[in-house]
Amino acid sequence: MPTRRRVYDFTVTLLQTKPTVWRRIQVPEKYSFWDLHVAIQDSMGWLDCHLHAFRFGKVGTTEEIGIPVDEGFSDLETLPGWEIPIKDHFEIGTSCTYEYDFGDGWIHEVTLQGVVLAEKGKRYPICLDGAMACPPEDCGGIGGYYHLIEVFADPDDEEYEELLSWLGRPFDAKAFDSSLVRFDNPTKRWDHVFSDGI
């Protein structure tokens, strides 16, 4: 009888948001940090347009995992996420930070809540739960996100039409449905991202 696969049960919380933007996802134990990055992007609703980094440890002793670049975005050596299995860094209760878009500075807390056996017939990764819409890309970080919410709450606001034109649709900060989350294949995402050249 084949051994059932193990999956890692994570919560991903976008810090400094209130009400909190968060997701609960389960991913295969065999995942690398690149694979986990893709799952976080897809579950949150980010578009993978910018660099990212996972960081473990205290300031000054931090280990950084992501996409190594030569342009000095960080004082730390960034280890290539596609070479590092998540199981080498996570035990139940372990947390790290995940930063996406070093300009807007979206900081997430990623916590391993548990390790469970894969359910027969279920495909992983999967998004089990969450709340609140992901902020739009390039909206200016936390300050820009709250400004966007404020403007879209008042169609008479002088910036409403401008922001509607920029975003292309109204923004409902409360809109999230975990059943609508779709996950890309991390290998295909890799081919797409690196064929364009980060």
Per-residue pLDDT in tens (0 to 9) along the chain, 198 residues: 467 899 999 999 999 999 999 999 999 999 999 999 999 999 999 999 999 999 998 665 678 999 988 665 556 789 999 999 999 999 999 999 999 999 999 999 999 999 999 999 999 999 999 999 999 999 999 999 999 999 999 999 999 999 999 999 999 999 999 999 999 999 988 887 777 555
Q: Is 188 helix (H, G, I), strand (E, B) or coil?
A: helix
Q: How far apart are CA 125 and CA 85, in angstroms?
A: 15
Whichever domain contains 23, its CATH number is: 3.10.290.30
Helices 186-196 and 33-44 pack at an angle, to 10 degrees, of 90
The one-letter amino acid at 120: K
Q: For the chain, report the end-to-end CA distance as a whole number of angstroms.
A: 44
Q: Are residues 143 and 130 in the same domain?
A: no
Q: Are residues 38 and 125 in the same domain?
A: yes
State which residues form the domain around 60.
6-134+176-196
Q: Are residues 123 and 142 in the same domain?
A: no
Number of domains in the chain: 2
Q: For residue 1, tell me if it sits in a domain.
A: no
Q: Are residues 71 and 144 in the same domain?
A: no
Q: Are residues 127 and 160 in the same domain?
A: no
Q: Which of 1, 3, 198, 6 is nearest to 102 (CA)?
A: 198
Q: What are phi and psi of 140, to 5 degrees?
A: 100, 30
